[in-house]
Structure 1
């Protein structure tokens, strides 16, 4: 899957999504109040921490959220059923939202890497110890800082490769 973050003239951001199945979408974002796009924070966090079933891993597997509009490719006849089936399975969307928010907030406000906050957010939804070590949290935070700087320095679209291995499991293709 290929993601491209695009500056919207209204001050927002939107994401162009090109899935491996040939379908293309735009994903509306609601980031006007942030200098760092929220969906970029999700993508970075999920990719850098290896979350296959966060928002973008679910999209890679076939989920179509209400904030997405298909712009090219063949529409699946079972898109709604497939989306519901993927989302009904155990996934990391909730923890992705929490951890992405912690990393996003740190980058947005130029704070230190949020090691304790990430572990705290993990503990809100999971009883098991947080699987992300300091190096992984630091990498996700620094990657978002770097991409945020690129985003702010240029009005050009920001390409963001998505690894094929990061895809929600349990749904036949």
Structure 2
């Protein structure tokens, strides 16, 4: 369902990347549940914001349990700040469970976003598939789970967002509602109906 003045659906997440007052960048995240959070960037030295690289890479490669998929599911990283909205009563506990359960996926997202960011920052996108595969072998050692076309598309997507960033100093983007990290079941909690005593 959409609202008249809104540019995104309520169950989708809107992210606004902009310059912060410190000269770095900040991503303001409007979650589908009405909670608004800020994720600060620490990248004054970069032409392209690192969190924008995460967004483009994770969205293009379908990483539901990376940084932005985790935030969409209710994950709140330690450097994030609540701006408005009312989180659930158990939001802190859910966030801890979520981020712990997806620790490896978050490392994977950092690895791939780092490669995509590097090639776009350097203007050398032709090397993205080779660098991504090398990084994956060092990290995992197994077969690379994405195609060269997907990785190339991630670099192209970031390149397009970088052009918008440089032209306007801001990027407004929607995170798809089908890329949300799954919520783990807490230890000791059984699924299904409780038996009668």
Settle same-fold status: TM greater than 0.5: yes
Structure 2, gaps ≥5 residues long:
1-12, 186-197
* 1:2 maps to 2:14: yes
In the alignment, is the contact (CA less than 8 A) between 2:73 and 2:183 conserved in 1? Answer: no
Aligned residue number for residue 50 of structure 1: 62
Offset, 1:78: 1.5
Q: Is 1:69 the equivalent of 2:81? A: yes
Deviation at 1:112, TM superposition (A): 2.9
Distance 2:91 2:155 in 1: 34
Which of 134, 139, 146 is matched with 1:132 structurally?
146
Task: Tell me which residue corresponds to 1:95.
Answer: 108
SS of equivalent residue, structure 2 residue 125:
coil
How many residues are treated as equivalent by the alignment?
171
Secondary structure class of the residue paired with 1:92: helix
Structure 1 ranges of 4+ moved more than 6 A: none
Counterpart-to-counterpart distance in 2, 1:20 and 1:122: 32
Q: From the CA coordinates, give the structure whose radius of gyration is larger.
A: 2
The answer to whether the aligner puts 1:115 opposite 2:129 as a matched pair is: yes
RMSD of equivalent CA atoms: 1.4
Q: Does 1:142 align with 2:162?
A: no
Q: CA deviation at 1:116?
A: 1.1
Identify the match of residue 84 of structure 1 among 96, 115, 127: 96
How far did residue 132 of structure 1 move?
Answer: 1.1
Unaligned runs of 5+ in 1: none
Larger mean CA deviation between 115-124 and 38-47 belongs to 115-124
Conserved 8 A contact 1:95-1:121: no
- Return the offset for 1:126: 2.3
Q: Distance in 1 between matches of 2:87 and 2:111?
A: 31
Normalising to structure 2: TM-score of the pair?
Answer: 0.82
Q: 1:11 aligns with which of 23, 27, 48?
A: 23
Report the CA distance between 1:40 and its aligned residue: 0.2
